[in-house]
Amino acid sequence: PFGTIGRNSIDEYDLSPAVTAIKINTIPAIDPYGDFLTIPTINGYTYDYSIMLGSTAVTPSSSIKGGYVRGISYKIKVPAGATSIPYTVTYAYAMVLENGSHDSNEQPLFSTIVKTNDSIINCASPAYFLPTFSTENGKNAQLDTVSALAKGFLLSEKPSPNFDSKSNSYLKDIWTKDWTEVTFDLSPYRGKEVTMTFETDNCVPGGHFAYSYIALRNKCGDIIISGDSVVCSNDGNLTYSIPLLTDGQYQWVVPDSWTITSDKNSNIINVTAGDQSGLIQVNQFNKCTSLQTQLKVTAIESSIGGILPGTTHICTGNNTTTLQLTDKRGDVLKWLSSLNGRQWNEIVYTDTNYTVQNLTVTTLYKAIVKTHAVCAADTSSTAAVIVDEKSQGGKLNPAGISYYSKKWCLSGGY
């Protein structure tokens, strides 16, 4: 009755009390079933907002049968130009689905429908749902758990708020899918207007819920590889990704001396960096499009703490000695000192030669060295400056002796 202009939420149809069906999220929170953020950060890219589409509400048993359907549409005016230049649109989605134990095509789902004024672009219009093994009557279908896990679904620790204890126990299950990025190419439609609709549907009979989150990148154009462009050599915890292409295949190339440690035919790869800089390249394609992109990466040499002289002896009191740090790689961040090798005190000093003076007790020293912000710091070897007591001459006994004395005794010396 109030329209949609200026609204940040819309309620489910004809429910009392009211339940929110569509909501714009501008402040991130944690989803209660999936434990993921409601506004995603995916491999370094933080989305500005998200839209929650759906709720845990189901069709009341006294009402007309059929599940709730919620949708939101965007109109995209694809710029005119050469169709050989990619024009990609990227969105991210996350889902919370109740297992309805129906045939797959009647399960709760989230879908994307991209269409021109006269046809649907099938390659850009997937549907996501919990897969089941079909039955003759479409009821009590067994969940294909292996397929669900492979598609990124996880079983929530929280049961359905709509579960009837008289029902089969598996009907209490809620499955969630964390944020996933998807892309599609609209370059064949340059100069045209395309409509993109996101839709979240409860199960067809109406008794099991679905809700989802969607977020759009604020720029369209070529695809971009997400991941660090400056890395530390031999770092084995690197991840690079591009948005998922529906039914897509992927071919990745990394610089020489780098290693891909995960599945190469995926939109996300895990990588161990080598010592060479270069390009990370990827080609992704399906039956509708082929997209290529690259990312320049720079490998920084890892830190080497270096070597300090092992042991130096000095006399207590008025003393001085210089510790020289050699064979290091990187800049000295600071020095450390310790009296017992367990508790270390920071010394604000960044030169490679450190002079100690006027020590009265044995003290240990080491330096912290780092090549670059992306590389971990390294610690040098430890130098021990051992403080010795001064020599004392002692006393001759007797105190005075003549040249013709034949015996004398030295006592009390060191």
Structure tokens at 41: 């950060």
Cα–Cα distance, 222 to 291 (Å, whole number)? 8
φ, ψ dihedrals at 182, nearest 5°: -135, 145
Do 308 and 381 meet the contact criterion of CB atoms below 8 Å apart?
A: yes
Do 70 and 80 meet the contact criterion of CB atoms below 8 Å apart?
A: no
> What's the CATH code, domain 230-300?
2.60.40.10
Do 363 and 385 meet the contact criterion of CB atoms below 8 Å apart?
A: yes
pLDDT at position 399: 59
Do 121 and 163 meet the contact criterion of CB atoms below 8 Å apart?
A: no
Asked whether the predicted pLDDT for residue 170 surpasses 50, the reply is: yes
**pTM (two decimals):** 0.72
pLDDT at position 398: 64
The per-residue pLDDT of the chain, averaged, comes to 89
Asked whether the predicted pLDDT for residue 412 surpasses 50, the reply is: no
What are the sequence ranges of the domains in the chain? 9-216, 230-300, 302-414
3-state class (DSSP) for residue 245: strand
pLDDT tens track for 18-70: 899 999 999 999 999 999 999 999 877 899 999 999 999 987 665 566 678 99
Distance set, CA 304 to CA 190, 299, 327, 374, 383 (Å): 53, 15, 8, 14, 16
Gyration radius of the chain over CA positions? 35
| Out of 127-141, 151-165, 296-310, 391-405, least confident range | 391-405
Structure tokens at 104: 């797959």
pLDDT at position 190: 94
3-state class (DSSP) for residue 224: coil
Alpha helices in 236-386 (DSSP H): none
State the DSSP code for 390. Answer: P
Cα–Cα distance, 190 to 285 (Å, whole number)? 19
Tell how strand 290-300 and strand 230-232 pair up: parallel
pLDDT tens track for 266-319: 999 999 999 999 999 999 998 888 999 999 999 999 999 999 998 999 998 889
Asked whether the predicted pLDDT for residue 253 surpasses 90, the reply is: yes
Stretch 348-352: mean pLDDT, rounded? 96
Stretch 237-244: mean pLDDT, rounded? 92
Distance from CA of residue 273 to its chain's centroid?
Answer: 17
Fold of the domain spanning 302-414? Immunoglobulin-like (2.60.40)
Q: Which is higher by pLDDT, 265 or 16?
A: 265
pLDDT tens track for 68-103: 899 999 999 999 999 988 899 999 999 999 988 888
Task: Say whether 302-414 and 230-300 share the same fold.
Answer: yes
Taking CA 198 as the corner, what is the angle to CA 106 and CA 33, rounded to the nearest 5 degrees?
70
